[in-house]
Structure formats: structure tokens, C-alpha cells
Amino acid sequence: MHPLHQILAQAAGRNKVKTGEFIVAKVDLAEINDLYLQVLLSFKEMGGDKVWDPQKISFVMDHYAPAPTIKAAENQRKMREFAKDQGIKHFFDINRGVCHQVMPEEGLVWPEMLLVDTDSHTTTNGAFGAFSTGIGATDMAAVLLTGEIWFRVPEIIKINIRGKIGKGIMAKDIILYIISQLGTDIALYKEIDFDGEAVKEMSLDERLFLCNMSVEMGAKATYIRPDEKVMEYLSEVSPEKYKEYQMMKFTNDEIDADYESVYSFDISDLEPQVALPHRVDNVLPVSQAKGKRIQQALIGTCTGGRINDIKMAAQILKGKKIASSIRLLIIPASHKTLQKCIELGYIQTLLNAGATLATPSCGPCLGAHQGILSSGESCISTSSRNFPGRMGSTEAKIFLSSPATAAASALKGVITDPREFL
């Protein structure tokens, strides 16, 4: 069995699971964000009184952080009150960042665990070898009530990424390219196992990027076999727990799995990639997308706002000024990321270049606040989606790119190949 199926089998109290069958699985960690007061409403409607385990539940106030409207403020207040009443252990308020960065940073994500979160980009945690998937509010309410969730055991697709990652090429370029080749629903109801020397070479930040964007191919969950980079991270964020942590049961053996399909990509000669409006798979190499005028560049969020991403932007913008026609928004994925980037001087560099810094959060990625687009405007963004209206007006255009391409484009005011500056 594949490790993801082993996790499901273990969570269902079974020796084995078969692809396509339905199981009821025990959840190790459930995370709820501030968009989902419906979780509490559904929980109450189900007759819920006490949650199944306050130690295994986490709240993160990230999508509307800090609250931009009275209604959003009221929803957050109700969540704070609920968490307090229920004795929820892990409550992360508006001063912490986006759940997909905060959860690993707080030492809550471990290999082999089964994690559910009210956000589609929960596929991110596959980079730790966890089974991690996004669910809706009522599914989450059921988890709060019972500690369980039903799943159909999914097929697994393997994607081998081979070759040497070129200068100025980031995980975002690689995943946009793969999505453009395979389509946005290739992994619908399925899981993706990423393997190959390029994946092994990637930093953990880059792997998180890869797994995060996989939901844009429909993936239910992702998997990258945990290695020493994961172990090093875990030992840093949670030294005490790490000491007790036994090396994984699964990972020392060859993975024995029936893959539904196997794809292989050699990315050695890959150019930076740009997804044009309004589809994530509407991708062109930067040489064919360059020159398009933009008014805003967004470097940040749970997709492209990690230290590695901000470092790349700072490297490109050091000692330079962004184009006068451009608004460059920097929204680190978390406060810890922000603090580290301040410490390393990246934020100072970006502010000197003319960037605007906003609170670590989802920001304008989902059109909530902190940089909404007007009609007729174009934005290049390191975030995950370029659907119509995603960042505000349905008449605005969103181009998706790596942090490097977004930074170079901010410099020139038009979509630009970042390799000119590296």
C-alpha cells in the first residue's frame, strides 16, 4: 500500500484499504479558519455540545485578518468565544498568519498524520508526508462532534519531476507547467505522489509551494516522502516532540503502490511560467507572456509568501526601485516568516524598493481586502488562483507567476523574465 493509503487504513482501524471503497477515518488534527462560522452553526444544529477533543482542534484567524467588516469581526468574536468555552488548545488569532504556514510552524504537522482543514489548499501538508485535505464547514462540524470523517479511498497518481532546476526557476514555475500539461482536473478525487530528483533537491518551502498548488489540478491530497529536510524542520520547530518521535514506519522501505497513472517531466530547460487569466492551466512561458502591462504585483499568501519567496524578491529588488506605475504588495505567509524576513533584511530591502507591506494573512488572494483590484486592472500574483473576480472586480485580470517573475515585473511595470536580474 502507498503511505497515504496506510495512513487512511490506520485511521479507519483497518489493516488494509482498497481504492474506491468508503471508510470512516479518525482525525488527528482539525483546523478551522475565520471564514467558517458555519462550522459552529452546523455543529449546534447537529446537537453538538462539547467537541470531541479540544486538544486536536485548531482555529486560525487568517482570511479576514484583521477584520475588514463588522460582520467579519462578529464572526471572529464568536469563534474566540467558542474556542474559549470549549477549551480549544490551539487558537491562533490575527497576529499569526495563514493556517498552511502557521500549523507547520507551530509543530502541529507531522508525517503519517491525518489532518483536515476548512481550506482547499490544505494539500500543502503533503510535503510533510501527512494525509492532509480540505473540507467544508458541515464536514468539519461532524469532525468536531465525532472526531471522524468519511472518505472514498482515492486513486494515486505519481508525478516524477526530473532534471536540474535552472537559475531563477521556482516551484511555482514547475507546478504551473505541470498543470498546463495535465489540466485542472487530472487529479480530481485523486492524490498525487511527487517524486524525482528535482523534488528531492527542492527546499521544504518549495515543496510546500508544489503541494499547495496541487489542488489546482483537483488533488485531494499530496505526498512527498519525508526526508532529512523534513526531519531537520521538525527538530527545529518542535525539539521536545522530535526527541520522542520515532522515525517513520513507512519511509525506509520502497513504496509499494499501484499508481493509477505515472507522469514524468524533465524541467531542466524550463523557462519561468505565467498563467494568464482566467485559468490556472492557461500557461505560457515568460518569453511569450512578457511585456503585458500590470498595475499591481502581489508577493505573498500561503502559496508564495514563505521565506524563500521573499528572499528571491529581495534579491531581485535590492538597491532598485519598482516602476512608478506599480503597487507591490508584500504579504508574508505568517508573522514568524515576517519576523525572520525582517531579521534577514529582506523587508527593509523591499520597502526601500517601494513595496507596501500588509498583515500576514490571505490578503487580496480571495478578494477580501488589502489590495482589491478595480475593473480594467491587471495584477501579477504569487497566489494560487486567477479565476474571474478572485481579487475583486470580475473585469480585472490576474496573472499567476513565481515570486521571482512577480518581483521582476514590479520593477519594469510589465511582465518580465526574472533571469535578467539574477
Partner 1 sequence: MSESIIKGKVFKVGNDIDTDQIFPGRYLYLTSPEEMAVHALEDAIPDFYKKIKVEDWIIAAGEYFGCGSSREQASRAILYAGIKAVVAESFGRIFYRNALNAGLPIIKCPGIVKEIHQEDLMRVNLEEGLIILNASGKTLSIEKFPFQLLTILENGGLIPYLRKFKKFSHLKRN
Query: Given the rule CB under 8 A, which residues bind partner 1?
Result: 21-22, 24, 35-38, 41-42, 45-47, 63-64, 69, 71-72, 75, 118-120, 122, 134-139, 141-142, 145-146, 148, 150, 152, 184-185, 188-189, 218, 220, 279, 366-368, 372, 385, 387-390, 392, 394
Specify burial of residue 317 (Cβ count, 10 A radius: 0-12, 13-18, 19+): buried
Q: What is the smallest separation between the CB atom of 322 and partner 1, expressed in angstroms?
A: 26
Between 250 and 399, whose beta carbon lies closer to partner 1? Answer: 399
What type of residue sits at position 364?
P
Nearer to partner 1, 336 or 390 (CB): 390
Query: What do you get for the CA distance between the two ends of the chain, in Å?
Result: 44
Distance of closest approach, residue 189 Cβ to partner 1, in angstroms: 6
Looking at the Cβ atoms of 144 and 204, the one nearer to partner 1 is: 144
Q: How far is the CB of 4 from partner 1 (least distance, A)?
A: 15
Q: Alpha-carbon distance 106 to 96, whole Å?
A: 10
Closest CA to 121 of 108, 135, 137: 135
Residue closer to partner 1 by CB (options 103, 137) is 137
Q: Smallest gap, in angstroms, from Cβ of residue 390 to partner 1?
A: 5
- Cβ burial, residue 93 (10 Å; 0-12/13-18/19+): middle
Min CB(58)–partner 1 separation in Å? 16
State the Cα–Cα distance between residues 414 and 88, nearest whole angstrom: 47
Whichever of 70 and 247 has its CB closer to partner 1, that residue is: 70
For partner 1, the closer of residues 40 and 130 by Cβ is 40
Neighbours of 253 (CB within 10 A): 9
Q: Which is nearer to partner 1, 175 or 204 (CB)?
A: 175
DSSP secondary structure of 169-184: --HHHHHHHHHHHH-T
Quick one: cell of 119? 481550506
Least distance in angstroms from the C-beta of 114 to partner 1: 15
Give the nearest distance from C-beta 108 to partner 1 in angstroms. 19
Q: CB of 296: closest distance to partner 1 in angstroms?
A: 16
From the CB of 176, what's the least distance to partner 1, in Å? 17
Answer yes or no: are the C-beta atoms of 186 and 217 closer than 8 Å: yes
**CB nearer to partner 1: pick between 175 and 347:** 175
Distance in angstroms (rounded) separating the CA atoms of residues 422 and 420: 6
Nearer of residues 102 and 326 to partner 1, judged by Cβ: 102
Count how many residues are written for the chain: 422
Least separation in angstroms between residue 417's CB and partner 1 is: 29
Q: Give the residue with the Cβ less far from partner 1, 185 or 236.
A: 185
- At residue 168, what are phi and psi to the nearest 5 degrees? 80, 5
Euclidean distance between CA atoms 347 and 146, whole angstroms: 44
Q: Which residue, 44 or 241, has its beta carbon nearer to partner 1?
A: 44
Q: Which residue has the cell 487569466?
A: 277
**Cell triple for residue 289?**
507572456
Which one-letter amino acid corresponds to residue 247?
M
What whole-number distance in Å separates Cα of residue 109 and Cα of residue 103?
6
CB-CB contact of 196 with 328 (8 Å): no
Q: CA geometry: angle at 332 spanning 108 and 178, to 5°?
A: 80
Integer angstrom CA distances of residue 3 from 222, 250, 383: 11, 6, 29
Residue 219 grid coordinates: 488533488
**In angstroms, rounded to a whole number, what is the distance separating the alpha carbons of residues 97 and 78?**
19
For residue 224, the minimal CB distance to partner 1 (Å) is 21
